[in-house]
Amino acid sequence: MIARNFPLLTIMILLICSFIMPIVKEAKTFKKLSIISMGASVVLNISTLIYIKYDGSFFYRVGHWDAPWGIELHIGMIEIIIGILFTLVASLVIWYSFYSVDTEIPKEKIRFYYLLINILIASLLGIVYSNDLFNSFVFIEVSTLASCGIVVIKDKKENIKATLKYLILSILGSGLFLMGIAFIYSITGNLNMTFIHNELAEIYIKYQNTILISLALFTVGLGVKSAMFPLHIWLPDAHSNAPSTSSALLSALVLKAFVFMLIKILLRVFSLEIVIQYRVLDLLLILGSIGMIFGSVLAIMQKNIKRVIAYSSVAQMGYIFYGIGLGNSLGLTISIFHIISHALTKSTLFLAVGSMMEQTGKNLSDLKGIGKEMPVTLGIFTIGAFSMVGIPILPGFISKWYFALATIDASKLIYLGVILLSSLLNAVYYFPIIINGYFGEENLKGKVFMSKNKPVKELLPVLILTVGIILVGIFNKGIINAINKSLI
Amino acid sequence: MRGISILFPLFFPIITSLAFGTIKFKSKRARNIYLTSTIIINFLFVINVSMTNASIDFHLFKVNDFLDIYFKIDKIGILFSLLASCLWIFTTFYSIEYMSHERKEKRFFIFFILTLGITVGIAFSGNLFTLYIFYELLTLATFPLVIHAGSREALESGKKYLVYSFTGATFVLLGMILLFSISNNMTFIEYGVLTDLNSINQNLILVIYMILFLGFGVKAALVPFHSWLPSAMVAPTPVSSLLHAVAVVKSGIFAIIRITYFIFGSDVINKVQGDFYISFLVITTILLGSLLALHQENLKKRLAYSTVSQLGYILLGLVMINDNALTGGLLHLVNHAVIKIILFFCVGAIYFMTGKKTISEIKGIGKQMPITMGCFSIAAISLIGIPPTNGFVSKWYLAIGGLRADRVLFSVILLLSALLTAAYILPIVITAFFQGEKVAKEDHIEPPLRMLIPIILLTGIVIALGLFPNFVLNFIESITDSIV
């Protein structure tokens, strides 16, 4: 029974630790505080997972107030898997950051960096767990500010510019989300998702336009925040200018929380039967497909390595929207699976690239011959890239395979071409990095073997992430079944 | 766990190649012993597996309905794996000598042995998905061999190779997904997995077959997807000979055999007329390959285009869907492998001894290297299809197959292409022997024995298979009987 309290407890632990950090003087102590609180959240989440496995999903009343007056958390299999994913990736990123933070962030800001990460992860968990629309909105606002914080922390001119862009668009997204809540509240009189859902089932025929408007507002609002294709313009700047640990968090986790929120709204607030009657899903399908192609095309045109990976995120988010847009349960399941696989892969890629950039430069041309100097790091990058391209057994392949099957299920055969074209395009921008890194006479000239390699302890967190990628690929069946069961 | 013996010939080279990367050898001699014993032991493993008459299969791991790594031994797999591992032995001896002049030998041999394991993996794959994985791995493992020189030109060719291969693999993936959605089964079974034909849209089957054929056709150098093969000739000669005349392109062919006869089945292909549409492409491949070979100045490029054309022969044998033609196709798969490897070895030997690469440079080379060029001539004769060489036997069967299938046109094309073959291969022999100055016996520059002996032995095989084809022929006929 006590495990029911754990989800709330994780959020509280993270928040309280972040509030303590400013008081602590020693730099060592707040770093410890940060990793310990994050590690504790992982453990708590895993024990909740075990609880849910035996006792099923549950609603948790915050402060023992019954819904609709009190706030509820809904913890199911999917939520807890994503919770574990978020805390696990965050702890590994924090661990990695201990070795890189001094070079990337001004000394006096480091304290705030860890504070912001804790707040960010707490608010993301809040978005994932909450069963209350307005409560989610609050968490969304908190996460927006925190994620802007971890971008601007470098305190350089371009960071501030990128952050302003991010902040303005992000707040626009939250604003749209809030308006969506307002519309839905005006016809149902509720903020709790379960209650809205029940109410809508009865009245949706009367208020078709209102529902369409609020559905559109939610989709576009969250679309801005999770980089749906034409609304992605803030992402490359923000992700490429941020410190690489921040980029890893932003790309791997922050985007995913919002898209997961969208899935929750579509499924749990409106229910798929209602959503299918509007063209919103088609919009998602088309924008997702365009994102899959153009995200990659734009990535090919980039010179800066981090921008390449940032644009690749746009393409990968396209897959997730695409899966939602298919409108069948397999599509949704695979979208959630892709959230997991992409979160692991993208954080690995950003961290690997971050450590390569520390040694060389930020342009693609600087990375030539890096495979001789940093073979292990580029090896890790290679595995991540292979997953993106879709080499079998790695999770990227599994997602693509099931996306294709879901497409056939939805009898939209023409979209198969989009999936395959996009995976080919992925190869076009990832392979040259690897090839120029490992091979080529001119590239390798004057490079000394292992000269820039990092010590094992610094690479360990990234290695663990890489192992995670492979494990997700191998155990895909269990994960997909768990998601699918919990979805219905 | 008898099935586990399948894994030895597969993983032994993979493990030894990785070990090769870490071991520091005291002397070159120790390294050479390591290399040759690896290849020979692996050959014995393959023989051991093929000796067991009962069918062996082994699930390495099964994650999903489709994600099932599954190995199975059948006769055609044995044929392909024996061919590959046997030719690998010759190539190893040859390349130990040849590569001593190139740099980065270590990297070369790591990927060289690795590729053997992967090729055997392709041979023993028990379902389409496993085949697909090894097919992708083959691309990745051979890529470093193609760009071995590391020059800008090599990198460009390597890029082309990757782009073509991955585009092909993407087609394969598309075909596989569609296939899986209608059949839910991708295991290789004789006469195919599509049992309930009536419930499935026949056009869809045709489309899937075409997609898979074109996808695998990229590696099999089907026109218009052939142009990576001539570009990949920048690789060192052992690589070109083994990979681009035998392992890689033949893997493409082998995969096409698998999908045609083991996934769809000959009846289904006949019914949906898959063979009809494909044969146009195949005929273009045969003629265009020969025509393009005519005006290549670079020896290796000329041989590469010749490969394109000869692979067309094999494909023609496959798509005629009758047992004579298939026998001819499979026989030519074996024969062409042996012939082409000799031709490449000879060209490599010329380059190794004299540094000459083009036809105009090799005037009179036959007088300096009579044994090498003699072997080259025998192989050339066999390539054209003149008795008593093995090329004649396979072309005979192909022509009979064409007549049996009531397609006289095919037989005519075979003859026409034989003429073209003569037109592009004989000038090399003529230039080598009948032009240039006379050379005294002391000035002969035959290559070192480690290169010369494989060439001579292989030439012996060419003639032996021409005179006594029954040994291979009976085996191949027992394959074709069970699948057509």
Interval B229-257 mean pLDDT: 85
* Residues of chain A found within 8 Å of residue B103, distances taken between Cβ atoms: none
d(C-alpha B332, C-alpha B339), whole Å? 10
pLDDT of B1 over the 60 cut = no
**Is B393 among the domain residues?**
yes
Mean pLDDT of chain A, nearest integer: 89
Tell me whether residues B170 and A401 touch, CB distance under 8 A. no
d(C-alpha A81, C-alpha A93), whole Å? 18
Tell me whether residues B159 and A435 touch, CB distance under 8 A. yes
> Which of B346-355, B407-416, B451-460 is least confident?
B407-416
Choose among B66, B151, B167: nearest Cβ to A441: B151
Tell whether A408 lies on the interface with B, counting CB pairs under 8 A.
yes
Tell me whether residues A424 and B151 touch, CB distance under 8 A. no
Q: Which two tokens stand for residue A314?
A: 């746009």
The interface residues of chain A toward chain B in range 436-465, judged by CB-CB distance below 8 A, are 438-442, 444
Tell whether A168 lies on the interface with B, counting CB pairs under 8 A.
no
**Is B141 among the domain residues?**
no
Q: How far is A241 from chain B (nearest CA, A)?
A: 31
- SS3 of B310, please? helix
Q: How far is B272 from chain A (nearest CA, A)?
A: 21
**Model pLDDT, residue A349:** 93
Q: How confident is the model at residue B238 (pLDDT cuts 50, 70, 90)?
A: confident
Chain CA centroid to CA A216, Å: 22
Choose among A393, A417, A427: nearest Cβ to B166: A427
**Is B477 among the domain residues?**
yes
> How many CA within 13 A on the CB side of residue A28?
0
* Residues of chain B found within 8 Å of residue A442, distances taken between Cβ atoms: 150, 152
**Model pLDDT, residue B140:** 87
Residue B71 pairs in a beta bridge with B58, B125
pLDDT of B103 over the 80 cut = no
Per-residue pLDDT tens over the stretch B43-61: 988 888 888 766 677 777 7
Q: How far is A85 from chain B (nearest CA, A)?
A: 22
d(C-alpha B472, C-alpha B477), whole Å? 9
**Model pLDDT, residue A367:** 83
Which letter, b or e, does each residue of A123-158 get, where b requires 16 or more Cβ atoms within 10 Å of its Cβ?
A: bbbbbbbbbbbebbbebbbbbbebbbbbbbbbeeee
d(C-alpha B45, C-alpha B14), whole Å? 14
d(C-alpha A197, C-alpha B115), whole Å? 58
Tell me whether residues A405 and B174 touch, CB distance under 8 A. no
Q: Which two tokens stand for residue A72?
A: 């509820």
A93 and A461 Cβ atoms separated by less than 8 Å = yes
pLDDT of B98 over the 70 cut = yes
Judged on CB neighbours under 10 Å (0-12, 13-18, 19+), B24 is exposed
User: By CA distance, what is A417's nearest residue in B?
Assistant: B174
Closest CA to A178 of A137, A215, A225, A210: A137
Judged on CB neighbours under 10 Å (0-12, 13-18, 19+), B74 is buried
Asked if the peptide bond before residue A68 counts as cis, ω within 30 degrees of 0, the response is yes
Q: How far is B168 from chain A (nearest CA, A)?
A: 10
Tell me whether residues B162 and A474 touch, CB distance under 8 A. no
Residue of B103, B166, B212 for testing the chain A interface, max A β-carbons within 10 Å = B166
pLDDT of A414 over the 70 cut = yes
User: By CA distance, what is B143's nearest residue in A?
Assistant: A435
B304 and B394 Cβ atoms separated by less than 8 Å = no
Select the more confidently predicted residue: B190 or A425: A425
Per-residue pLDDT tens over the stretch B118-169: 999 999 888 898 999 899 889 888 988 888 887 888 888 888 888 899 889 8
Phi, psi of A328 (to 5 degrees): -120, 165
**Model pLDDT, residue A176:** 95
* Residues of chain B found within 8 Å of residue A435, distances taken between Cβ atoms: 143, 147, 155, 158-159, 162
d(C-alpha A119, C-alpha A21), whole Å? 11
Tell me whether residues A408 and B181 touch, CB distance under 8 A. yes
Q: Which two tokens stand for residue B474?
A: 């009976």
Closest CA to A356 of A106, A100, A92, A114: A100
Tell whether A404 lies on the interface with B, counting CB pairs under 8 A.
yes
Tell me whether residues B63 and A474 touch, CB distance under 8 A. yes
d(C-alpha B304, C-alpha B283), whole Å? 17
**Is B459 among the domain residues?**
yes
Tell whether A64 lies on the interface with B, counting CB pairs under 8 A.
no
- SS3 of B15, please? helix
CA triplet B365, B366, B371: central angle to 5 degrees? 125
Tell me whether residues A392 and B129 touch, CB distance under 8 A. yes
Per-residue pLDDT tens over the stretch B281-326: 888 898 888 998 888 888 888 988 999 999 988 998 888 888 888 8
d(C-alpha A378, C-alpha A372), whole Å? 9
Name the domain count of chain B: 1
- Which residues constitute the domain of residue B383? 334-484
**Is B316 among the domain residues?**
no
Closest CA to B321 of B257, B388, B233: B257
Interval A168-189 mean pLDDT: 93
* Residues of chain B found within 8 Å of residue A420, distances taken between Cβ atoms: 170, 173-174
User: By CA distance, what is B131's nearest residue in A?
Assistant: A392
Mean pLDDT of chain B, nearest integer: 86
> Which of B242-251, B320-329, B380-389 is least confident?
B242-251
Q: Are strands A58-61 and B57-62 parallel, antiparallel or unpaired?
A: unpaired
Q: How confident is the model at residue A135 (pLDDT cuts 50, 70, 90)?
A: very high
pTM: 0.87
pLDDT of A173 over the 90 cut = yes
d(C-alpha A257, C-alpha B365), whole Å? 71
**Is B472 among the domain residues?**
yes
**Model pLDDT, residue A363:** 85
Packing angle, helices A329-359 and A255-264, rounded to 10 = 170
Identity (one letter) of the amino acid at A134?
Answer: F
Q: Which two tokens stand for residue A416?
A: 């198969």
pLDDT of B2 over the 70 cut = no
User: By CA distance, what is A420's nearest residue in B?
Assistant: B170
Q: Which two tokens stand for residue A34?
A: 């940060």
Tell me whether residues B178 and A416 touch, CB distance under 8 A. yes
Residue A75 pairs in a beta bridge with A58
Domain boundaries, chain A: 279-488
Interval A426-438 mean pLDDT: 87
DSSP B415: H
**Model pLDDT, residue B479:** 86
Residue at token pair 């099957």: A405
Interval A128-142 mean pLDDT: 93
Identity (one letter) of the amino acid at B239?
Answer: V
The 10 Å Cβ neighbour count of residue B314 is 27
For residue A309, the surrounding DSSP H or E stretch is helix A305-326
Tell whether A392 lies on the interface with B, counting CB pairs under 8 A.
yes
pLDDT of A329 over the 60 cut = yes
**Is B322 among the domain residues?**
no
Closest CA to B71 of B8, B153, B151: B8
Per-residue pLDDT tens over the stretch B389-443: 888 888 888 888 888 877 788 888 888 888 999 999 998 898 888 887 777 777 7
Tell whether A296 lies on the interface with B, counting CB pairs under 8 A.
no
**Model pLDDT, residue A179:** 95
Tell me whether residues A401 and B66 touch, CB distance under 8 A. yes
Residue of B64, B67, B110 for testing the chain A interface, max A β-carbons within 10 Å = B67
Task: Output B190-196 pairs: Cβ under 8 A, ≥24 positions apart.
Answer: B190/B261, B190/B262, B190/B265, B190/B482, B190/B483, B191/B261, B191/B265, B191/B266, B191/B267, B191/B483, B192/B261, B192/B262, B192/B263, B192/B264, B192/B265, B192/B266, B192/B267, B192/B268, B193/B263, B193/B265, B194/B263, B194/B264, B194/B265, B194/B268
pLDDT of A365 over the 80 cut = yes
* Helices and strands in chain A: count of H runs, count of E runs: 22, 2
B302 and B424 Cβ atoms separated by less than 8 Å = yes
* Residues of chain B found within 8 Å of residue A423, distances taken between Cβ atoms: 170
Per-residue pLDDT tens over the stretch A62-89: 888 887 788 889 999 999 999 999 999 9
d(C-alpha B291, C-alpha B289), whole Å? 6
